[in-house]
Structure 1
Amino acid sequence: MQKRRVGSSDLYVSEISLGTMSIGTDEQHGIRLLHEAQDLGINYFDTADLYDQGRNEEIVGKAFKGRRDKVILASKVGNRLDPGKESWHWDASKEYIVSQIKESLRRLQTDYLDLYQLHGGTMEDNVDETIDAFETLKKEGLIRYYGISSIRPNVIREYVKRSNIVSVMMQYSLLDRRPEEHVLALLEENNISVFARGSVAKGMLSHKASEKVKRKGAEGYLSHSYEDLLAVSEKLGVLAEQEQTSATSLAVRYVLQHPALASAVMGASSLEQVNENATLSGDHLSEAVYEKLKQITRPIQYENHR
């Protein structure tokens, strides 16, 4: 598995990584998936306190107890559980962030996180206070680095200007090329890496594209109509056949082509999916294939949070 450096940090992550949200709540099954991923060369695992109300972090912690020095663990904070309810509200205050790292570390059975991410962010937040929270945790040795998970260009710009983030997690795929407008270039210029989620757009850019489009794209996807999605899946399939590879591989490698990218964060709920994901690491696309992929879809822009 090829590895890439995260920004200016000393973290080197597998270019295909595992987003743990979909591993489920069955402990034995979840641990099996996590171990299989690591055995196949994946070293970056992304969780959040939000996932299954902390249960996800607990499973990840049990899986890597005794293997901690072999993996890079990332979690997220900012979504605060309402007492006695299953609902959440946003809280980016220093007090809350500082208090929650201790809970995440307890569940993950570790004394530090490699990467701690703000799980969202708005322009109404006290950004300086939020940054101070992460800087405090860094000074205390509870986290090595911090970043944000956001698709809001205005929020991303503020953290680029005012903080020491090493990464931004965002949605990016052939069907969601919004980051290409300005965001990817901005992050590359500032040596901040991208963790891409949604690289296969709910499976609509995978080798099962036509089936997934019918199931998940009936109402369209972003500004793409159902008809658009069907056309994209067909063209992607044809190109994959010509290149003697899979549609999934082309879609993921398209995302990884940009120099700002550190890793494509892929979900998995079965051993089969873990194994499929691990095969997606590979060489850069040729410029000819990259340009053909660009022609399959059209660029779209962020309408909000500019």
Structure 2
Amino acid sequence: MRKRKLGNSDLLVSEIGLGCMSLGTDKKQAETIISAAIDEGINYFDTADLYDFGTNEEIAGHALKKVRDQVVIATKAGNRWNESKDSWHWDASPSYLKSAVKDSLKRLGTDYIDLYQLHGGTMEDDIDGVIGAFEELKAEGLIRHYGISSIRPNVIRQYAEKSSISSVMMQYSLLDRRPEEWMNLLIDNGISMIARGPVAKGLLSDKMLDKASSSIKENGYLDYSYEELKDILPGIKEKLSPRNLNETALQYVLSHKAVASVIPGASTVEQLQQNCRAARAQSLTEEEIVLLKELTKSSKYEAHRDM
């Protein structure tokens, strides 16, 4: 598996990572998938304290314990469960982040986190305080590097200008090209993108519209109506043949140098292996990239902008 440098850090991450949220709570099944990921050459594993009330961190940490020095463990904080655990609220206070990291370390069974990420972010946060908390955690050796998981342009710009973040996690796919507007800003500041949702809820897999939920059938997906999807998806598959759609989708995201790693979820070993085959495929040609941009929409975030 090819690896890429994560932003301004010293971390090398596999082009395909494993988004652990989809693993579920069956420990044996989850560990089988993680073991298969390691066999495939994946070294980047992404979890969060929010997932399954922290159980996801426990499962991932246990499965990775024997290879801890060979992998990059990323987790996130900021979404805080209430006492009854039936809802959560946003808490990006420095005091909470410094407390949450210790809970994550305990669940993960490790004494450091490679990449600690703010699991969201708003302009109302004490951004300077958040950055200060992350820098303190770095100085203490509890985290090696930090980043944010956010799609808000005004928040991303603040962290890019004020901090030494290594990464920004964003939803990015052929059907959601909004992050492309911000790639130059990230590159100019030595920041990498971690791309989630590369197959757009399964629409960019070979099952295409068979994966469409009732909501997508009724309301479409982002800027695309369901009727548009019925036209666009078969068109992409046909014109990029003999590539399968999953390969085209992942290679498009990987074609951008701002992207360090793509983290599709995988609930089965077969899904994981399919994603790895797609990542190992031949890179898209310039002609293929141009064609894909012509077939899809280049959108931008309309909200959370300060310009």
After TM superposition, is the score higher than 0.5? yes
The residue aligned with 1:178 is: 178
Matched letter for residue 188 of structure 2: E
| Alpha-carbon distance in 2 for matches of 1:137, 1:125 | 18
The residue aligned with 1:139 is: 139
| Aligned residues of 1:150 and 1:170 also touching (Cα < 8 A) | yes
The residue aligned with 1:108 is: 108
Name which of structure 1's ranges 108-117 and 76-85 shifts more when overlaid on structure 2: 76-85
Q: Deviation per CA, 1:130-162, whole angstroms, max 9, x where unpaired?
A: 111100100000000000000000000000011
Report matched runs for 1:85-100 at 5 Å: 85-100=85-100
What fraction of aligned residue pairs are identical, expressed as a percent? 55
1:296 aligns to 2:284 (yes or no): no
Q: Deviation per CA, 1:253-288, whole angstroms, max 9, x where unpaired?
A: 111111101011110001111111111223421100
| Alpha-carbon distance in 1 for matches of 2:243, 2:169 | 27
SS at match of 2:240: helix
Structure 1 stretches (4+) deviating beyond 2 angstroms? 213-217
The residue aligned with 2:128 is: 128
Instruction: For residue 247 of structure 1, report the CA deviation from its aligned partner.
Output: 0.6
Report matched runs for 1:267-306 at 5 Å: 267-282=265-280, 283-306=282-305
**Structural RMSD (CA):** 1.1
The residue aligned with 2:18 is: 18
Instruction: For residue 120 of structure 1, report the CA deviation from its aligned partner.
Output: 0.1
Name which of structure 1's ranges 271-280 and 195-204 shifts more when overlaid on structure 2: 271-280
Instruction: For residue 215 of structure 1, report the CA deviation from its aligned partner.
Output: 5.1
| Alpha-carbon distance in 2 for matches of 1:229, 1:240 | 16
| Alpha-carbon distance in 2 for matches of 1:86, 1:141 | 33
Instruction: For residue 20 of structure 1, report the CA deviation from its aligned partner.
Output: 0.3
The residue aligned with 2:70 is: 70
Matched letter for residue 226 of structure 1: Y
| Aligned residues of 1:205 and 1:236 also touching (Cα < 8 A) | no
1:261 aligns to 2:256 (yes or no): no
Instruction: For residue 217 of structure 1, report the CA deviation from its aligned partner.
Output: 2.2
Instruction: For residue 214 of structure 1, report the CA deviation from its aligned partner.
Output: 6.2
The residue aligned with 2:232 is: 232
Name which of structure 1's ranges 26-35 and 225-234 shifts more when overlaid on structure 2: 225-234
| Alpha-carbon distance in 2 for matches of 1:214, 1:108 | 34
The residue aligned with 2:188 is: 189
Matched letter for residue 203 of structure 1: G
| Alpha-carbon distance in 2 for matches of 1:238, 1:215 | 25
Q: Deviation per CA, 1:90-148, whole angstroms, max 9, x where unpaired?
A: 00011000001111011100000000000000000000011111001000000000000
1:27 aligns to 2:27 (yes or no): yes
| Aligned residues of 1:169 and 1:194 also touching (Cα < 8 A) | yes
The residue aligned with 1:165 is: 165
Name which of structure 1's ranges 281-290 and 131-140 shifts more when overlaid on structure 2: 281-290
SS at match of 2:30: helix
| Alpha-carbon distance in 1 for matches of 2:222, 2:279 | 27
Matched letter for residue 185 of structure 1: N
The residue aligned with 1:247 is: 245
1:151 aligns to 2:151 (yes or no): yes
Instruction: For residue 70 of structure 1, report the CA deviation from its aligned partner.
Output: 1.3
Instruction: For residue 51 of structure 1, report the CA deviation from its aligned partner.
Output: 0.3
Structure 2: gaps (5+ residues): none
Instruction: For residue 14 of structure 1, report the CA deviation from its aligned partner.
Output: 0.5
SS at match of 1:205: coil
**How many residue pairs are counted as aligned between the two chains?**
303
Matched letter for residue 24 of structure 1: G
Structure 1: gaps (5+ residues): none
Matched letter for residue 192 of structure 2: S
| Alpha-carbon distance in 2 for matches of 1:90, 1:179 | 23
Q: Deviation per CA, 1:197-249, whole angstroms, max 9, x where unpaired?
A: 011100111111131236562121112111111112111110232xx221111
Report matched runs for 1:205-220 at 5 Å: 205-213=204-212, 217-218=216-217, 219-220=219-220
